[in-house]
Chain A
Amino acid sequence: KAGVTQTPRYLIKTRGQQVTLSCSPISGHRSVSWYQQTPGQGLQFLFEYFSETQRNKGNFPGRFSGRQFSNSRSEMNVSTLELGDSALYLCASSLGTSGDQETQYFGPGTRLLVL
C-alpha cells in the first residue's frame, strides 16, 4: 500500500500571502489530521477531517482552514501568512472507525518557510 503523500514538500512564501497544502491519505483511510511541528512548540494538532466533515479542531486561529474531498484527500489553507507560520506541516491518516481509529500514519510533511 502506498503511504501518506503530501505536496509540495517544500514551500517558500512571503508574509501576507496564502498557501494551500495537499495530503493524500492511505487508500481506504477516511480520517485525515493535520499537525504543525515547530522546534519551539513541538507537534500541535490543527484539525481532523472524517468523511468530508471537520470532526476535531485544535487551538489555531481562523487563518488556518481545511477541507476534505469525497476521495478522502485533504487540503489545508493558511491565509495572511505570518513569520511564525514557518513550520513543518504534517498530515496523518487513519481508518477513522472505532477499533482501529487510533493508528495514525504520518506523511513526510510540507516544510513551509515564510519570509
Chain B
Amino acid sequence: QQQVKQSPQSLIVQKGGISIINCAYENTAFDYFPWYQQFPGKGPALLIAIRPDVSEKKEGRFTISFNKSAKQFSLHIMDSQPGDSATYFCAASMLNYGQNFVFGPGTRLSVLP
C-alpha cells in the first residue's frame, strides 16, 4: 500500500517533443505528490508538486495532471530540451506526517538534440 509505481523506466524523446511520465499509488491517505529531477552526481531537486484538491498544475514547461479517482498522476514536459535529460522521480507523502516520502523507481529521460 505504500508503493508508488512509475513508468516508463526510460524514455527517449526528440528535442521539442512532449515527455510524459506516469505514476500510480494505492494509499488514499497520500495527499501531497511532488516530482523530483536528478542529474548524475547530484541530489534530487524539487520540480513541481500537487495536492489532490487540484487536477492540474502548470509551471513553465512542466505540468502535473492528477486523477484522484484513478489514483494516478503524471508529469508532462512540453518542448523537451536536451538539458531536461535527467532521472525523474515521482513521490507521495502524507502532510502532517512529517517528511516521510515514498518515491517511485524513477524514469531516465533522454532528450535527443
Contacts and interface: CB of A to CB of B under 8 A. Distances in A.
A102 B34 contact: yes
A105 B99 CA distance: 11
Interface string A29-63: 00101010000001111001010000110100000
Most buried by B among A31, A90, A96, A101: A101
A43 B97 contact: no
Contact of A107 (B41, B43, B95): B43
Contact of B98 (A35, A55, A105, A106): A55
Decide if the interface of chain B is mainly helix, strand, loop or mixed.
Answer: loop
Decide if the interface of chain A is mainly helix, strand, loop or mixed.
Answer: strand
B103 interface: yes
Interface of A: 4, 31, 33, 35, 42-45, 48, 50, 55-56, 58, 90, 92, 94, 96, 98, 101-109
Interface of B: 32, 34, 36, 41-46, 49, 89, 91, 93, 95-106
A92 B93 CA distance: 14
Nearest to B105: A42
Contacts of A96: 98-99
Contacts of A33: 99-101
Contact of A43 (B32, B45, B89): B89
